[in-house]
Amino acid sequence: MEELLDKLLEECRGYTGQGRVATYIPELAKANPRDLGISVLNSDGRHYQSGDWHKRFTIQSVVKPILLLQALMDNGEEYVHARVGVEATGKPFDAINVTDQMLRSDHLNPMVNMGAIAMCTLIRGSSYEERFQRVLELTRRLAGDPDIYVDEAVYCSEKRTGSKNRALAYLLQSCGMITDDVEEVLDCYFKACSISVNCRDLASIAFVLASRGRLPQTEERVFPSQYARYVNAVLMTCGMYDGSGDFAVNVGVPAKSGVGGGIMAVVPTRMGIGIYAPALDAKGNSLAGIQVLKGLSEKLYLSIF
């Protein structure tokens, strides 16, 4: 497996020069666009990795399925679905013009920014700091890494420059979809996006979703299997933003990207995959990362279709 991963990274490394790192969050602009790494956790319990898999980066939007999972665990499917829909928007992840009508919950999904901001209000806690801590602890548990932390520099950078997300949050409030203090909700969201991970962490999280809620090694159940089905289905249709259709055709597995360069891919019953390649395409997805996943899917017949 590692020989295959080494070969794929070598074949796809040229794609890192065709993308651009995110710059609208100043700290993300410091990433090396040539970085490329992958980690795979297989159903045999073994980790396989190649390239810059050990480098840390902020999880960014890859935290969205974790926010969704925590909301499901706290409230159940019916409650969550009634407040944040599941249909693909067909628009960029930070789009403000998702509808020409009055904004409703079914216009959103948990994998775009507005849906994820609304998701923060569904997580239980006496304060938004407590809600964030619960998300952080769930991330650590799913990854099997108790040392996962928040990158304070990225968090402060996001909070200082997050005008677009503030606009989205206030739009949600104006439509009655957020009733809590907007700045507190956004603080939870910015911190969640600033959680620092590596490829191995993402592969481990993806593996729990692939195994329908069971941790590797111990097979301890973290959440009911129906929540894995729910999250994976939303990832399949919405996880790669307005590139989700092409990704379904070319790769064919549930996945989530983030502007920090990470991709978390779920191969149900088979494996979890974590990728890091911070040079992005025009839609905000890791350009080289998608090419690596495409090659891996073709070689190992990963597509669920």
Q: Would residue 230 show up in a list of annotated catalytic residues for this protein?
A: no
Residue 205 lies in a domain: yes
Length of the chain: 305
Q: Please give the pLDDT value at position 107.
A: 78
- Identify which of 251, 259, 253 has the alpha carbon closest to the alpha carbon of residue 290: 251
Burial of 293 (0-12, 13-18, 19+ CB in 10 A): buried
Query: What is the DSSP-derived secondary structure letter of residue 74?
Result: H
Q: Max CA-CA distance within the chain?
A: 53
Q: Clarify whether 61 is annotated catalytic.
A: yes
152 and 251 belong to one structural domain:
no
Query: Is 244 labeled as catalytic in the residue annotation?
Result: no
**Which among 173, 193, 213 is the end of a domain?**
193
| Residue numbers of the domain that contains 158 | 61-193
The answer to whether position 161 is within a domain reads yes
Counting the structural domains of the chain, the total is 2
Looking at 193, 219, 235, the residue that finishes a domain is 193
Is residue 246 located within the same domain as residue 219?
yes
Q: How many C-beta atoms surround the C-beta of residue 68 within 10 A?
A: 26
pTM of the model: 0.95
Whether residue 189 lies in the annotated active site: yes
- Are 98 and 163 members of one domain? yes
Q: How far is CA 141 from CA 41, 53, 104, 133, 147, in A?
A: 16, 20, 33, 12, 10
My answer on whether 38 and 90 are in the same domain is no
From the candidates 241, 256, 257, 267, give the one annotated as an active-site residue. Answer: 241
259, 266, 267, 292: the active-site residue = 259
Q: List per-residue pLDDT tens for the chain, 305 residues long.
A: 999 999 999 999 999 999 999 999 999 999 999 999 999 999 989 999 999 999 999 999 999 999 999 999 999 999 999 999 998 877 667 666 665 556 777 778 999 999 999 999 999 999 999 999 999 999 999 999 999 999 999 999 999 999 999 999 999 999 899 999 999 999 999 999 999 999 999 999 999 999 999 999 888 999 999 999 999 999 999 999 889 999 999 999 999 999 999 999 999 999 999 999 999 999 999 999 999 999 999 999 999 99
In a domain, 51, yes or no: yes
- 65 & 183 share domain: yes
